[in-house]
Amino acid sequence: VIMAHVECHKHADFCHGLTRKDFHTVVAYRDGQNIGSTYYMRDEDFYLQWIMLSGPLIELRNDEDVKNAKK
Assess contact for 58 and 66: CB atoms under 8 A: no
* pTM recorded for the entire structure: 0.44
Each of the 71 residues of the chain gets a pLDDT tens digit; together they read: 666 777 888 888 878 887 877 777 877 777 777 777 788 877 778 777 777 776 776 778 888 888 887 76
Distance from chain centroid for Cα 52 = 14
pLDDT at 51: 73
* Cα gap 26→40, rounded to integer Å: 8
pLDDT at 2: 64
CA 44, 47, 49, 51 torsion-angle sign = negative
